Amino acid sequence: MYQLRGQRVEALSEEHIRRTAMSFCNFFGMKPTKGRNKRYDKSLEKLSSYGITINPVDDAEWSAALHGLISGHYDPQSATISVPEHIYLEACAGDRIALSVVLHEIGHMVLGHQPLMHFSSVPATENEDAEWQADAFAEHALKFLGYDSMQLSFEFY
């Protein structure tokens, strides 16, 4: 039986998530580029034009708060993605791991994850797991952007 890692949400196919990730990258000008000078500042800044806030939190403040164990957070009420400042800066500079954290949180937002009371006698599947969906979104976006595939398991929400 599949063990949910996060909220149970409406099931999405991996193909749907892959297409959504590509549309997101295209829309926000995140293009696949070969070479080392990838910068994503502009794309991430553009999110604010659509009412989405990226909130880089001072690193010391982040680890002092409850957030010590998690790398990122998305609040659907305020459409705010919070990440430690170093993660934001490294993501702007194209660091794969930092980008995967930011894209995972963007995935929660773009895929419309909301806290959901969902009672069902049918066991959950991977495709209904908000965390699996957000990971799949980040992986497909990174693949589209030309990063090597890599399985990472982080504790982020």
* Residues that bind Zn ion in the complex, under the rule CB under 5 A: 131, 134, 157
36 burial type by CB count under 10 A (0-12 exposed, 13-18 middle, 19+ buried): exposed
Measure the CA–CA gap between 80 and 53, rounded to whole angstroms.
Answer: 5
54 burial type by CB count under 10 A (0-12 exposed, 13-18 middle, 19+ buried): middle
Closest distance to Zn ion from the beta carbon of 100 (Å): 11
Nearer to Zn ion, 38 or 73 (CB): 73
Nearer to Zn ion, 49 or 151 (CB): 151
Nearer to Zn ion, 44 or 101 (CB): 101
Closest distance to Zn ion from the beta carbon of 96 (Å): 17
Closest distance to Zn ion from the beta carbon of 121 (Å): 26
